[in-house]
Amino acid sequence: MEEEIGKKPLVLAYYVTGHGFGHATRVLEVVRNLILAGHEVHVVTGAPEYIFTSEIKSPKLFIRKVLLDCGAVQADALTVDRRATLEKYVEMAVVPRASILATEVEWLKSVNVNLVVSDAVPIACRAAADAGIGAVCVTNFSWDFIYAEYVMEAGRDSHSIIWQIAEDYSHCDFLIRLPGYCPMPAFHDAVDVPLVVQRLHKSRAEVRKELGIKEDQKVLIYNFGGQPAGWKLQKEYLPPGWICLVCGASEGQDLPDNFMKLPKDVYTPDLIAASDCMLGKIGYGTVSEALAYKVPLIFVRRDYFNEEPFVRNMLEYFQCGVEIIRRDLLTGHWAPYIERAFTLRPCYDAGTNGGEVVARILEDTALGRGPTPSKLSGSRRLRDAIVLGYQLQRVSGKDIDVPEWYTIAQSKLSSRTPLPDKNSIQITSSAKEIEDFKILHGDHHGLSDTIGFLKSLVELHSLSNNGNNSKHQSRENLAAAAMFNWEEEIIVARAPGRLDVMGGIADYSGSLVLQMPIREACHVAIQRSRPDKQKLWKHAQARQHNKGQGSTPVLQIVSFGSELSNRAPTFDMDLSDFLEDGHPISYEKAHQYFVQDPSQKWAAYVAGTILVLMTELGVQFEDSISILVISGVPEGKGVSSSAAIEVATMSAVVASHGLDIAPRDLALLCQKVENHIVGAPCGVMDQMASACGEANKLLAMICQPAEVLGHVEIPSHIRFWGIDSGIRHSVGGADYGSVRIGTFMGRKMIKSMASERLNSSTSNHNTQKVEGTNNNGTDENGMDLLETEVALDYLCNLSPHRYEESYVHKLPEFLLGNDFMENYEHHDDSITIIDKKCRYAVRAPTRHPIYENFRVKAFKALLSAAPSDDQLSALGELMYQCHYSYSACGLGSDGTDKLVELVQEMQHSKSSKSYGGTLFGAKITGGGSGGTVCVIGRNLLRSTEQILQIQQKYKATTGFLPYVFEASSPGAGKFGYLKIRLRSRST
């Protein structure tokens, strides 16, 4: 029977996603091999037919013009519109879902399809299952992973989109996984294959001869898939002697004589192989051809496309990539990047016959000889924590299957930024010298992460002497080694993240907060140089040369760990960019300066400190500045990674320029960086904890705006832990901002109600005086209260009983932004902007800080009470109440709720009670909507064992192994700064 089936041609339906031509071209190569094997292929696509028909002349190829997903909607050639993408997907695939499924099932049966193949259309997999046909996905990413980050922008209501996509994918028999793949947890079984690359039709010599290009002529191919609107290519963009082949130029576009317009239907792979380097965006098709034909790719990053870090790391690992800064691309500052790319020697030597291999696997699968399917529900494998936890936050503790080259990169990062031993944050060494460097000022305090950072500087110095001897040396290492004058002094500062024990989002309402600086910290090394002495990167040198202004002060920044997220590892700017007519530019202009290139907007946290010092204190920066940032504070965990960077940078800048700024004042300046330049509406507690905190103590602060009450000793019998939910948290996210707006709306409405009551009471009081009657209305004390509430600066100054007595029932649960503005004009918050069309929760966000302030005060008082089970139970209960209040505001998450639930199960278990209780409470922290959960318990080994059990239970439920924060360290003020210098070889 199998022999008879084998002789009969198979019928395959191949669905292609609507995201770009790259998917269609790789599908083309697989389809070509299937048709060569004698099979019939129906391609279901929205791509132009000529992509397939120009390459495949066969009656066995059928094109069905149907588009069942939208891919990622782009606002322009470089920018993905996250909200528009989800809205378009809902319109295309969610609303008409029932109709789509019915149509596809009927069609699949009508053409007698043997196997459905998807790249990577989710609903095609479900349609195959409904039709009783096997399905296979062929891809390097899946849309559940890509859309996971978009959900953070669009809000939790969009979670159902991710779940549905995952469930659709789960109907696949297995995944054929292409190189440069992302984590794809919705699939259970995967088969890895070589690169799928389009074959060449002509040799390099033939192509060049047809185009009239000499063999020794240097050629750049511009393969961009669309150009920014209104942008013109200029002759001076290219180095002398180079010519550029332009793909996708518009018909009416005029090009300089060193640029050559190519026909729209030109066969791109031949041209790439005939070129010396390529300029374009990162995508699977472009990267696979660059690697296969060993043509260096000069790439510019796209924002918000999660596939990119994985493909980019593969490209750079094989020495085939050079990143160009977006502003240099748009201003035509191409030459230094082209010259650098020309020196690369790509070393990819793995297979490029993926099209043939994939076709063979598909054939075997259709004949019943494929891998054994494992039918598990996608929703069983894909929990909330996995979906949102994978968002470019690949740090130690994540249990995912990644390529060898990515594991190597991850190991390199870990070795460069070692975390302290988990059992102790200090070592006994008090040496004043670290190998090649001598400490001229300050003390490393025995902190092992600081010692590790100093050792990383030694390695960078060694690299600067030896050059790029390692074939796979990271770009950030090379950039950092090249920017320092290693014979000159370097300043080092350190600032920790923080664990929000109590207070959280009530900080912007003036609450008392209790914050613990954690062990994980950010280190910054900074060096000042005269402009004519600074070691500039080549593109910065070229930029200054082009300006013809001689040497001017330049800021250069390297941020380690960029390979683990989709951001550029380097940033540079002329410090004069911060000036306009001799005065500092506005914060709004600075914000726009950084957000124009999303891959470099991270630099606002670092460079923003300089503008704030210029604006607030009138500091003038006449020297060039080199800054290296290495942070051990995990991003997106709700432990203030951004505040640690700001405080460490500001501390280093202040120390290097001889300024004297108290830690409290420094924290307030850092808050301005985050609020006005970064654009995140955070309160000040994060920066205060990072700057003013002390090891193993809770910083007690009233946020009105930042009054430090002191440091509360953590009793010896109590311990705090933080457990990461794996769900990315951001204070710049929509949920945090809308809750803050709702809170300020509530305050404005309470003040207005108090004013109306006061005016009414005053009028009645005066009338009663004239008439000589008794005042049965509001007495003097009541009027004093109303006067206080009319002038309410901070919502936390309103007591819970006054709120319940006078205001709670008069506040709406929700209110449309437009309705609020019509009645109140403004919510009196300079950090956030009301969206007139948005519906805001008001009552719960208003209630939260009023009660939270009361809870924090009670918590602080209880910490000094006599040790007892009642004390611990009461502390834990206050934390639970805080957690549920966050959820009422809309700032909860499935992952953090699960962790709190696990703590409660552990607390009330029989085994725990037999020990007299060990864990007593837990709460979501910081800005909420994911991030870290803070847990309180007895300071016993048993408690730590239970935390580890919770860690494993959470992994068993979600597939994600949480990171545990379990130690403290000093804030930046206590640490001070180090001044180091390379030791003289003569000594």
Q: How many CB atoms lie within 10 A of CB 813?
A: 8
Question: Is pLDDT larger for residue 624 or for residue 477?
Answer: 624
Comparing 370 with 652, the larger pLDDT belongs to: 652
pLDDT in tens, 820-851: 999 999 999 988 999 999 999 999 999 999 99
- Please indicate, yes or no, whether the overall pTM of this predicted structure exceeds 0.95: no
**Residue 245: what pLDDT?**
94
Nearest to 266 by CA among 223, 213, 227: 223
The identity of residue 223, as a single letter, is N
Which DSSP symbol is given to 677? I
Q: What pLDDT score was predicted for residue 549?
A: 67
Give yes or no for residue 355 having a pLDDT over 70.
Answer: yes
Residue 157 pLDDT level (bands cut at 50, 70, 90): low
Secondary structure percentages of the chain, helix, strand, coil, to 5: 45, 20, 35
- With a cut of 70, say whether residue 408 has pLDDT above it: no
- Report helix, strand or coil for 258: coil
**Residue at 180: amino acid letter:** G
| pLDDT single digits (tens) 44-65 | 999 889 889 989 999 999 999 9
Pick from 185, 432, 258, 207: nearest CA to 978: 432
Q: Each residue of 685-737: pLDDT tens digit?
A: 899 999 999 999 999 999 998 899 999 999 999 999 999 988 765 554 557 88
Determine if the peptide bond prior to 120 is cis (ω within 30°): yes
Q: Could you tell me which of 67, 71, 96 has the C-alpha nearest to residue 86? A: 71
686 a catalytic residue: yes
Q: Which residues contact 532 (CB under 8 A, 6 or more apart)?
A: 551
Contacts of 193 (CB under 8 A, 6+ apart): 176, 177, 178, 179, 354, 357, 358, 361
Burial of 55 from C-beta contacts in 10 A (0-12 / 13-18 / 19+): middle
Asked if the model's pLDDT at residue 136 lies above 90, the reply is yes
Q: Which of 965, 879, 874, 860 is nearest to 922 (CA)?
A: 879
pLDDT exceeds 80 at position 98: yes
Kindly tell me if the per-residue pLDDT of 1 is higher than 70.
no
pLDDT level of residue 600 (50, 70, 90 thresholds): confident
Whose structure tokens read 């990819």?
Answer: 348
Res 396 pLDDT > 60: no
Count CB atoms within 10 A of the CB of residue 630: 24
pLDDT reported for residue 22: 82
CA distances in angstroms from 402 to 145, 390, 395, 569, 768, listed in the order given: 14, 12, 12, 21, 80
Q: What is the mean pLDDT of residues 100-104?
A: 97
Helices (H) and strands (E) in the chain, counts: 36, 31
At residue 126, the 3 state secondary structure works out as helix
In this predicted structure, what is the pLDDT of residue 2?
Answer: 39
Q: What average pLDDT does range 336-345 have in this prediction?
A: 93
Q: What pLDDT, on a 0 to 100 scale, did the predictor assign at position 162?
A: 81
Q: Is the pLDDT of residue 243 over 80?
A: yes
Average pLDDT score, the chain: 85
Q: Which helix (H) or strand (E) holds 483?
A: helix 475-483
Say whether pLDDT at 581 is over 60: yes
Strand pairing report for 11-16 and 134-139 = unpaired
What is the rounded distance in angstroms from the CA atom of residue 582 to the CA atom of residue 623? Answer: 16
List, for residues 617-634, the tens digit of each pLDDT value.
999 999 999 999 999 998
Give the rounded percent of residues in the chain with a pLDDT score beyond 90: 60
Assign domain 204-349 to its CATH architecture.
3-Layer(aba) Sandwich (3.40)
604-624 mean pLDDT: 96
**Identical fold, 11-197+356-397 and 734-760+789-961:** no
User: Does the pLDDT value for residue 253 go beyond 80?
Assistant: no
| Residue 463 near residue 478 (C-beta atoms within 8 A) | yes
CA distances from 797 to 281, 634, 754, 850 (A): 53, 34, 14, 8
**Rg, the chain, Cα only:** 31
Give the CATH superfamily of 734-760+789-961: GHMP kinase, C-terminal domain (3.30.70.890)
Average pLDDT of the residues in 575-585: 94
Q: Of the residues 686, 724, 735, 897, which is catalytic?
A: 686
Q: Name which residue leads in pLDDT, 534 or 768.
A: 534
Candidate from 22-26, 340-344, 580-584, 725-729 with smallest mean pLDDT: 725-729
The more confidently predicted of residues 226 and 308 is 308
- For residue 778, name the pLDDT band (cuts at 50, 70, 90): low
Is the CA virtual torsion 254, 255, 257, 263 positive or negative? negative
Chain position carrying tokens 């790249």 = 119
> Is-cis flag, bond preceding 705, omega within 30?
yes
Q: Residue 626 belongs to what H/E stretch? A: strand 624-631
Average confidence (pLDDT) over 351-361: 95
Superfamily of domain 11-197+356-397: Glycogen Phosphorylase B; (3.40.50.2000)
How far CA 144 is from CA of 46, 128, 816, in Å, comes to: 21, 19, 31
Level-2 CATH architecture, domain 449-455+477-503+512-699 = 2-Layer Sandwich (3.30)
Neighbours of 753 (CB within 10 A): 17
Degrees, nearest 5: CA angle 160-956-141: 50
Phi/psi for 136 (5° steps) reads -135, 140
Q: What is the mean pLDDT of residues 265-271?
A: 89
Within 8 A by CB and 6+ apart from 392, the residues are 149, 306, 309, 564, 565, 566
The domain spans of the chain are 11-197+356-397, 204-349, 449-455+477-503+512-699, 734-760+789-961
